Chain A
Amino acid sequence: MSLTVADPPTAETGGGTPTVASRAREWAGRAPRQVALREKDFGIWQEYTWERTWDLIMDAANGLLALGVEPGQRVSIQSEDRPEWVILDLATVAVRGITVGLYPTNPAAEVEYLLTDSTATIHFAEDQEQVDRALEVDPARLPGLRRILYTEPRGLSSYDDPRLLYWEDFLEMGRSYRRDSPGGVERRMAEALPDDVMTLVYTSGTTGPPKGAMLTNANVDYAMTIINGDTGLRGAQIPGPGDLTLTYLPLCHVAERIFSTWHLVGCGICLNFAESIDTVQSNLREIQPTLFFAVPRIWEKMHASVMIKGGDVTLFKKIWLGFGLRLARVIGREKVANGGNHTPKSWLLNLVGYPLVFRALKERIGLRRCWHAGSGAAPIAPEVLEFFIGIGVPVYEMYGMTENSAVATVNYPGRMKLGTVGEPYPDIGFRIDEETGEIQTKHPAVFLGYWNKPEQTAETFTDDGWLKTGDVGEWVDGTHVRIVDRIKHIIITSGGKNISPSEIENTLKTSPYVKEAMVIGDGRKFLAALIGIELDTVGDWALRQNIPYTTYRDLSEKPEVLELIQKVVNETNEKFARVESIRKFKMIPKELDHEDGELTATQKIKRSAMEDMFGDLVESMYS
């Protein structure tokens, strides 16, 4: 192991810039025996110590050098979360390359777009499925692509594309390169500059093709200092080597990158890779992470599963659990009203509820040891937040976007406000444009621009250099920020009324039966909605009601289900003004899917694609 820098950085080279790779090296030197990564393999959580992790990063980095990766060249990764993702990511940064993350769900067409747009030199495709997608692209369109790495050899033995390279062989290549010409990676690391682009994060692109946001070493460094500083995400509490998190959201998304990779190298926490998105529940139970970040969809699913499982118990447990959940509601309300802190009343109630229900309940959902959880990337239903806070899982909503390295606002422990995304971090440039209501930020973590898209980059900045987030926000009590909607999504009805569809959609989605909702009404007389049911819960409900069904479409068109959804719609309408009420709705006849182009990789509805696809459904509501 070589932890020493061969060529010490000099002032001329501007080297010695802290990068995620150099931070990883520091941890490897400081805590070599500490477990950095954990991955479940053959039913056992295999552990990677910092020493081994750094060794692998060095092997991979030397492998990249052996393959001739020059500074600034792109290494793309299309894989589920696994140690190789993090190792290759850090190795790429170590050799001053640029990591490009692809969603494992990106279909072949998008893979082609992303690989050609980023002109990647090395592509990491996890397994046969991902390799197939990469090989589908005409090699002539990817002249720069030298190698396609893969780590799951199953099914690939008969492939004879010369670009394919097995991960272990790649590491071996790196090892021999390291033996023959040591110090190469160390030199590259010493040459790192603050303005080196370290990653392209492709935005999901609800409109138009994805754009690669360039984040530099300086961006990430600033983001890490802000997020885990004394006035960071968690107030004065800073995570450390004793903390665990579960890594399960796509690592190419900026949120998971922050909460996994950047926390790993920034604070030395231990990453535990979930087997897959479907096993998150059971992996959570095993790992019992101390830090957790989830998108609203996951929180809502967890909440729904508690409700469903809780309804499926024997009488004694039902009474018991019902009592506990009632307590949780009261505690949640009290705490939320008090900024997330206990009031004497909620503290007393918790004293009763914790041993009776909350402890076991939290153990079952895997968040018993969680002292800080976050929700972001989309708005979350307040009821869900209140529930988790009530049972004692401190969930805080936060807000940020790829373009500002997610440095914007956060709900601080003890100062949270329900329905807001919190307060701006102290001393960052944050403003809400008075005219448009758009949120704008300006600080060192704001990105360099979009990869190869100068016009779009220019459009993203105001004349005085502030980043336009595209989100409409408003101040709450002068300190907290509430997100109204994306600017582009605001509906202006034919009556001239401005309506934010997201709020209505999210209220609809609070119901465990509703998975997707899209409110329509731009230039129309009234609002209508397309609603997609949640197959699991509605299916379960139908089973209990003795309603036979065959397919998703069949189920969602049952008159009983329509009635059920009508009830949800009516409840939602009660919460909004008359002009904002949904007069008509239609069921979406299929489950929306990324592959079919209706959803982005982050499961957000692509409105334009939806309007194309279900245009006749929409028209039928207005005729």
Chain B
Amino acid sequence: MRGRPKLFTSYVAESQLFPTRIQKVLVVVGIIVLVLMPFDLPVISQIPIVRFLGDNIWLRLVNRMLIFTIAALGLNILSGLAGQVSLGHAFFMGSGAYTAVMLGGKGSANLWGWGLPIWIWLPASGVVAALVGIAVAPAAVRVRGLYLGIATLGLVFIGLHLSRVFPEIAGPGALGRKWPRMQFRLWKEEDPLVDFSRDGDWFWFEVSKNQKTYLLLLALTVVAAVVAANIARTRTGRAFSAIRERDVAAEIMGVPEFRYKTMAFAISSFYAGVAGALLAVLAGQVPPESWGLLLSIQFIAILLIGGIGRVSGALMGTFFVVLSPRFIEEVIDWMKEQVDAGGIFSGVFDTLISTGDGDGGLLAISETALGYPLPASALDELVYGLLIVVFLLFEPLGLYGIWMKVRNYWKGWPFSY
């Protein structure tokens, strides 16, 4: 029935992703804006955030953010939806990344690599990671909660160890090996069909490599998000939620715990594998240590800050966690400029930042070692460490929870409930 948003005559209608017409329109408009964002178009580039995110320098970071989003969506399925704590996300990402480099990278005497095209190595990186996930899943059926966290934490160190045992895969030394470029080939021909790694013309438009990569990643992210959102509203998703609330009760309700926990690990690892492969390809060269605990923790931070269990939470969290260091950097730079220029704020900022020897201040621009004054480069870690604490204490549902509160305030209008 039109104009009756709460009247559902079928479950399909009730579980629609975007139930109202306005939401549908907004999603379409949002995607159009996102697609057009990097191109300096008259109207769209005037939208505040879009204006500088579309900027070429920021775009690289935005690309990184999109990859993180895919990985975060994966962890969200495992931890948010199915309730299984995992600190091993970086390990699954690494599995994907090394699958990609083995299949897609160039081989040599002491490096394995077959130079296969992207349409093989990208899905394969997901599949291999998923298989690894399936192998790990039985552990999750035996141990729960904190113990599972520690068990998966072990994975990260096993991964680091393996990278040293097999230099043929991980590459020698601290720099790591080179990943294949983001190019689309049908097979091993010389000229790629589509080259995302070089500036060039598409049709009649001049497109930079960042813009090309952005469009590719945007498409992948949208697909990943839609799939993730759909998983949540299917039978599988409901089974995951049942396990999250209480696995024993779920089992009694007829939800096979083993099967669904394995499935959750497989799906989550698939996302992680694909994201890992993309992340390494975007960076070009990655040392094995990058797939360490810090990366895993970053994803926990993303989920906690964004709001666990929700696709939109994962999106908000990634946006915040990946972009905030850069924002902080910009702010510090701006403060420094103010100090140098002298002005109303210079006094205030001068006490905050320390430019070198003898200058008092909380933040050291030039220092890199931890201690007092705090190096500015360490600030972002401090900030989201603090944020995790603050969110856990005051808003366990994260940014999504804040959004829910705001939304409920207006939904309840003119009452409170």
Q: Taking beta carbons and an 8 Å cutoff, which residues of A are in contact with B?
A: 38, 43-47, 244, 285-288, 309-310, 312-314, 317, 320-321, 324, 357, 360-361, 364, 369
The complex places the Cα of A117 from the Cα of B328 at a distance, in Å, of 85
* Closest CB in chain B relative to A305 CB, distance in Å: 9
The complex places the Cα of A30 from the Cα of B92 at a distance, in Å, of 63
The complex places the Cα of A145 from the Cα of B390 at a distance, in Å, of 71
Is the CB–CB distance between A364 and B415 below 8 Å?
Answer: yes
Closest 10 CB pairs of A and B: A286-B6, A309-B415, A313-B416, A321-B414, A360-B413, A45-B9, A286-B7, A288-B4, A360-B414, A47-B9
The complex places the Cα of A369 from the Cα of B4 at a distance, in Å, of 9
11 contacts between A and B (CB under 8 A): A44-B10, A45-B9, A286-B7, A312-B415, A313-B415, A317-B413, A317-B414, A317-B416, A320-B414, A364-B415, A369-B3
Q: Tell me the B8-24 residues at the A interface (CB within 8 Å).
A: 8-11, 14
Q: Is B202 an interface residue (CB 8 A)?
A: no
Across-interface contacts of A244 in B (CB, < 8 A) = 1
The complex places the Cα of A310 from the Cα of B412 at a distance, in Å, of 11
* Closest CB in chain B relative to A392 CB, distance in Å: 14
- Additional A-B contact list (16), CB under 8 Å, known A47-B9, A360-B413: A44-B14, A45-B7, A46-B9, A286-B8, A288-B7, A309-B417, A310-B414, A312-B415, A313-B416, A317-B414, A320-B414, A321-B415, A357-B414, A361-B414, A364-B414, A364-B415
Is the CB–CB distance between A286 and B9 below 8 Å?
Answer: no
Is the CB–CB distance between B416 and A309 below 8 Å?
Answer: yes
Contact with A along B396-417 (1 / 0, CB 8 A): 0000000000000000011111
Across-interface contacts of A288 in B (CB, < 8 A) = 3-4, 7
* Closest CB in chain B relative to A292 CB, distance in Å: 14
Closest B residue to A310 by beta carbon equals: B415
Closest A residue to B1 by beta carbon equals: A244
The complex places the Cα of A59 from the Cα of B284 at a distance, in Å, of 73
The complex places the Cα of A313 from the Cα of B4 at a distance, in Å, of 26
Tell me whether A314 and B414 are in contact in the complex, defined as CB-CB below 8 angstroms, given that A46-B9, A288-B7 are known contacts: no
Across-interface contacts of A324 in B (CB, < 8 A) = 414
* Closest CB in chain A relative to B40 CB, distance in Å: 39
Tell me whether A38 and B9 are in contact in the complex, defined as CB-CB below 8 angstroms, given that A312-B415, A320-B414 are known contacts: yes
Closest B residue to A46 by beta carbon equals: B9
Across-interface contacts of B414 in A (CB, < 8 A) = 310, 313, 317, 320-321, 324, 357, 360-361, 364
Is the CB–CB distance between A286 and B416 below 8 Å?
Answer: no
The complex places the Cα of A314 from the Cα of B413 at a distance, in Å, of 11
Among B3, B7, B8: residue with most chain A CB under 10 A: B7
The complex places the Cα of A253 from the Cα of B6 at a distance, in Å, of 29
Among B6, B11, B417: residue with most chain A CB under 10 A: B6
The complex places the Cα of A418 from the Cα of B8 at a distance, in Å, of 38
* Closest CB in chain A relative to B119 CB, distance in Å: 42
Closest B residue to A369 by beta carbon equals: B3
Among candidates B4, B8, B413, B416, residue contacting A44 with C-beta atoms closer than 8 Å: B8
Is the CB–CB distance between B11 and A44 below 8 Å?
Answer: yes
Among candidates A285, A312, A317, residue contacting B6 with C-beta atoms closer than 8 Å: A285
The complex places the Cα of A167 from the Cα of B210 at a distance, in Å, of 68
Closest B residue to A317 by beta carbon equals: B414
Is the CB–CB distance between B14 and A287 below 8 Å?
Answer: no
* Closest CB in chain A relative to B253 CB, distance in Å: 16
Across-interface contacts of A313 in B (CB, < 8 A) = 414-416
* Closest CB in chain B relative to A440 CB, distance in Å: 44
Q: Taking beta carbons and an 8 Å cutoff, which residues of B are in contact with A?
A: 1, 3-4, 6-11, 14, 413-417
The complex places the Cα of A361 from the Cα of B412 at a distance, in Å, of 10
Across-interface contacts of B1 in A (CB, < 8 A) = 244
The complex places the Cα of A312 from the Cα of B412 at a distance, in Å, of 12
Tell me whether A287 and B8 are in contact in the complex, defined as CB-CB below 8 angstroms, given that A309-B417, A310-B415, A357-B414 are known contacts: no
Closest A residue to B9 by beta carbon equals: A45
Across-interface contacts of A45 in B (CB, < 8 A) = 7-9
Across-interface contacts of A360 in B (CB, < 8 A) = 413-414
Is the CB–CB distance between B9 and A44 below 8 Å?
Answer: yes
The complex places the Cα of A47 from the Cα of B7 at a distance, in Å, of 11
* Closest CB in chain B relative to A170 CB, distance in Å: 27
The complex places the Cα of A312 from the Cα of B14 at a distance, in Å, of 30
The complex places the Cα of A244 from the Cα of B10 at a distance, in Å, of 18
Across-interface contacts of B10 in A (CB, < 8 A) = 44
* Closest CB in chain A relative to B8 CB, distance in Å: 6
The complex places the Cα of A364 from the Cα of B3 at a distance, in Å, of 14
Is the CB–CB distance between A286 and B11 below 8 Å?
Answer: no
The complex places the Cα of A153 from the Cα of B413 at a distance, in Å, of 42
The complex places the Cα of A47 from the Cα of B9 at a distance, in Å, of 7
Tell me whether A43 and B4 are in contact in the complex, defined as CB-CB below 8 angstroms, given that A310-B414, A317-B416 are known contacts: no
Closest B residue to A38 by beta carbon equals: B9
Is the CB–CB distance between A43 and B14 below 8 Å?
Answer: yes
Among A44, A285, A309, A361: residue with most chain B CB under 10 A: A44
Across-interface contacts of A38 in B (CB, < 8 A) = 9
Across-interface contacts of B11 in A (CB, < 8 A) = 44
The complex places the Cα of A357 from the Cα of B413 at a distance, in Å, of 8
* Closest CB in chain A relative to B91 CB, distance in Å: 41
The complex places the Cα of A3 from the Cα of B414 at a distance, in Å, of 50
The complex places the Cα of A447 from the Cα of B219 at a distance, in Å, of 72
Across-interface contacts of A310 in B (CB, < 8 A) = 414-415
* Closest CB in chain A relative to B7 CB, distance in Å: 5
* Closest CB in chain A relative to B165 CB, distance in Å: 55
* Closest CB in chain B relative to A618 CB, distance in Å: 41
* Closest CB in chain B relative to A298 CB, distance in Å: 19
Is the CB–CB distance between B8 and A312 below 8 Å?
Answer: no
The complex places the Cα of A45 from the Cα of B1 at a distance, in Å, of 11
* Closest CB in chain A relative to B116 CB, distance in Å: 49
The complex places the Cα of A213 from the Cα of B6 at a distance, in Å, of 40
Among candidates A46, A286, A314, A317, residue contacting B4 with C-beta atoms closer than 8 Å: A286
Among B8, B9, B10, B414: residue with most chain A CB under 10 A: B414
The complex places the Cα of A360 from the Cα of B412 at a distance, in Å, of 9
Is the CB–CB distance between B9 and A317 below 8 Å?
Answer: no
The complex places the Cα of A357 from the Cα of B417 at a distance, in Å, of 15
The complex places the Cα of A287 from the Cα of B4 at a distance, in Å, of 7
The complex places the Cα of A288 from the Cα of B9 at a distance, in Å, of 14
The complex places the Cα of A357 from the Cα of B415 at a distance, in Å, of 10
Closest B residue to A361 by beta carbon equals: B414
Tell me whether A287 and B416 are in contact in the complex, defined as CB-CB below 8 angstroms, given that A43-B14, A44-B14 are known contacts: no
Is the CB–CB distance between B413 and A287 below 8 Å?
Answer: no
Across-interface contacts of A43 in B (CB, < 8 A) = 8, 14
* Closest CB in chain A relative to B128 CB, distance in Å: 41
The complex places the Cα of A46 from the Cα of B1 at a distance, in Å, of 13
The complex places the Cα of A309 from the Cα of B415 at a distance, in Å, of 6
Among candidates A46, A285, A314, A357, residue contacting B416 with C-beta atoms closer than 8 Å: A314
Closest A residue to B13 by beta carbon equals: A44
Closest B residue to A285 by beta carbon equals: B6
The complex places the Cα of A285 from the Cα of B5 at a distance, in Å, of 9
Across-interface contacts of B6 in A (CB, < 8 A) = 285-286
Is the CB–CB distance between A312 and B416 below 8 Å?
Answer: yes
The complex places the Cα of A312 from the Cα of B1 at a distance, in Å, of 32
Closest B residue to A308 by beta carbon equals: B415
The complex places the Cα of A455 from the Cα of B11 at a distance, in Å, of 56
Is the CB–CB distance between B14 and A317 below 8 Å?
Answer: no
The complex places the Cα of A321 from the Cα of B416 at a distance, in Å, of 11
Across-interface contacts of A357 in B (CB, < 8 A) = 414
The complex places the Cα of A321 from the Cα of B412 at a distance, in Å, of 12
* Closest CB in chain B relative to A402 CB, distance in Å: 33
The complex places the Cα of A313 from the Cα of B3 at a distance, in Å, of 27
* Closest CB in chain B relative to A523 CB, distance in Å: 48
Is the CB–CB distance between A317 and B3 below 8 Å?
Answer: no
Across-interface contacts of A286 in B (CB, < 8 A) = 4, 6-8
The complex places the Cα of A320 from the Cα of B409 at a distance, in Å, of 14
The complex places the Cα of A38 from the Cα of B256 at a distance, in Å, of 36
* Closest CB in chain A relative to B386 CB, distance in Å: 29
Is the CB–CB distance between B7 and A317 below 8 Å?
Answer: no
